[in-house]
Amino acid sequence: MSTIFHLDLDAFFVSVERILDPSLEDKPVVVGGDPHGRGVVAACSYEARSYGLHSGMPIRAAFKLCPHGVYLHGHHKEYVRYSHSVKNILEKYAPVVEQASIDECYMDFTGCEKIYGSLFSFASFLQNEIAVKTGLPCSIGIGSNKTLAKIGSDCMKPKGITYIIPGMAKEFLEPMPVETIPGVGKVMLRDLNSKGIYRIGDITRLPSDYFAAAYGKFGTALWHKAHGEGTEYLTVERGQKSISKETTFNEDVTSKDYLKTILFELAGRVCQTLRDYNYQAATINIKLRYSDFQTLTRAKTIKPTDDDKVVFETAWDILQKAHTRRIAVRLIGVGVSKLNSFAEQEVLFEDEAAKRKKLFRAINQLRGKYSYKIISMGM
């Protein structure tokens, strides 16, 4: 039987902010930006959660519930740096590590008892190692598959360790609320509750055909998860699939010229990231959200590129064709996908494209050293 660990960094963004500024300790901290703006909460401390705050809620609503909180824009580069540090520690000990997101990893420790002894005790060692070397708190779940391990890491937060004994998964899960199962969101929860299903045990007492008929493949998967079943296999290499940037306006926007200006900056930031990772993208997409919250996305596939001008012009063309309603815009975004690593070849005579690549490389270096806005380019 497999032994899978799921490690979740507790209130990760907030934890990093507290390392950068220790005066934030024990205060209700909210990462997400201007509390009077129109963004959402990216993360909040456990002190802030006691006021009813949670990730994903409108930041204005968070401010009404917790006006005395500390509201921060956040330091994304620091989050990435700390995430890499944690993964480097885990890779010293785990035969296989899958990074599921910036703040969570799965590890396969199957058969490692002969090396580390009690894996419950070893999980405590890992927690201490990460705390000492990075200052970050974490929770760990241990189970026979990824689903159980993930549920376990959520059980004893913060700084908890939960070991689900093999063969006891069904009994462990039975009294838990159905929203404990990964993938059960607010809409699914309401629908399950309307059917009298509140606990995971309520699912296991019904046949799988019932859930297949009601929810299709997701229903079947839900039934299996409720029985403690899940995949044991980790994905070691997960190549980046997309890069995107978006902005929510403080006030709804009607000016197409202003939309064009913001789209240009977003496209530039996306291409900056492409070049940082030595990628080119073949699909350009835009996201547009109106003031009534109707949201649309459109995409177009082109020849692979990392050129600001090409990405912007493609995105602007898509946006002009998609933006047909005479209503103000709340949010716009630009994204790229179908990413491929780009290997630059030496050429004897430089053409215009080669010169632009040298220019962009120099711009990337300057922006990386100082800030993105150190250099502005024309449309």
Residue type for position 196: G
Three-point CA angle 1, 145, 115, nearest 5° = 55
Side-by-side strand order, sheet with 43-44: 43-44, 29-31, 70-72
Q: How many CA atoms lie within 13 A of 118 on its CB side?
A: 6
Q: Sheet containing 138-143: which strands, arranged edge to edge?
A: 96-101, 104-108, 4-9, 138-143, 161-163
104 is catalytic: yes
Pairing of strands 70-72, 29-31: parallel
Rounded Cα–Cα distance for residues 240 and 237 (Å): 9
Q: Can you list the positions of beta strands (E) in 210-269?
A: 242-253
The residues, any chain, with a CB within 8 Å of residue 189's CB and separated by 6 or more, are 178, 179
Tokens at residue 150, please? 């993930």
User: Among residues 98, 104, 179, 352, which one is catalytic?
Assistant: 104
Count CB atoms within 10 A of the CB of residue 333: 21
CA distance 132 to 149: 24
Buried b (16+ CB within 10 A) or exposed e, 177-199: ebbbbeebeeebbeebeeeebeb
H/E element holding 110? none
Q: Which two tokens stand for residue 79?
A: 């989050």
How far, in Å, CA of 361 to CA of 368, rounded?
A: 10
Encoded tokens for 158: 């913060």
Catalytically active residues are 104
